[in-house]
Chain A
């Protein structure tokens, strides 16, 4: 027989019992050996019960709940950390996307404002030479007044509406109705910002002395 923990642990007791009960020493040693193996079985049984083989279903669902709770807890913490990291990772790219979408729309709008404002502030003698016809000068003035009625936040709101509309249009594209609408009302897609820009552009083209660069900057 190979030496076991039991032999070593219980050797003292065995010796004592040997002294007390010599006749039963062998059976006692056997008993300890068997009890050792019995303990192993118990340990295994205990281990199995953690895997859910326990018949006590109430205890099992408690464990399941605890398990689920811990899973959710760590999943949530991870999700929150990941969300922040993901947002940070894409923020600059998103900003750049938005910026490049709007900067030239804003630029055109600003150009309309700038031309109108600067013209209105020029000495009359100079503006008379730049735009000779009085009728046209009044048109500029009128346009300038309408444009000046809109603040940047108003313009921004109009621009935002334009974007929302164009997104809707993109979503509606497979629908035949939107195509028909566009056919029936050409030019209706022009929003206030675009209309003012086109009006200004048309006026400037009729005023050769006024050289305004409509090129979108690079």
Chain B
């Protein structure tokens, strides 16, 4: 008789367990569906963010490379056209651009390189007394990762 009442209570437990498990099952199946959809849409959305960021970063670095190469060509022709201080800054910029991890946007070095380049570039432009900027020039906030 004791065993009978126990049976009854476990069978009631089973009913609730089944109901709870079903809720779990529905949640899980929804979760799995959402996860695989999320993988796709997330990748797509993030790709567009990456496209924008990559283009802006690439443009900024390419811009510096173009400037550096022109300046270096000028120094070759006329070693006295820039002061030694400016020439040193140009050399440092050159090294920074070469160091940039183009194929690894997750690399923490990236931000340091860009920050360093901006500082040097500003310094060079100030001493050369030229204004080298254009519309839409990437602001530091735009190139954050």
Contact = CB atoms under 8 A, between A and B. Distances in A.
Contacts of A78: 26-34
Given A78-B26, A122-B74, A153-B136, 14 more contacts: A74-B26, A86-B41, A90-B40, A98-B54, A102-B58, A103-B105, A106-B60, A107-B59, A114-B69, A118-B71, A152-B59, A152-B135, A155-B59, A211-B76
B77 A109 contact: no
A34 B68 CA distance: 103
- The B interface is mostly helix, strand or loop, or mixed, namely helix
B16 to A, nearest CB: 13
A165 to B, nearest CB: 14
B42 interface: yes
A143 to B, nearest CB: 12
A24 interface: no
A218 interface: yes
A5 B1 contact: yes
Interface of B: 1, 4-5, 22-23, 26-74, 76-78, 81, 97-98, 100, 102-103, 105-106, 128, 130-132, 134-138
Range, interface on chain A: 35 or more
B134 A148 contact: yes
Interface of A: 3-5, 8, 70-71, 73-119, 121-123, 125-127, 129-130, 148, 151-156, 159-160, 163, 209-213, 217-218
Given A8-B1, A123-B81, A152-B138, A92 B26 contact: no
Contacts of A76: 30
A209 B73 contact: yes
Given A70-B23, A117-B66, A94 B43 contact: yes
Contacts of B4: 5
A136 B79 CA distance: 23
Contacts of B134: 113, 117, 148, 151-152
Contact of B45 (A82, A87, A121): A87
Contacts of A108: 58, 62
Contacts of A123: 81
Contact of A86 (B29, B38, B130): B38
A112 B66 contact: yes
B62 A83 contact: no
Nearest to B138: A152
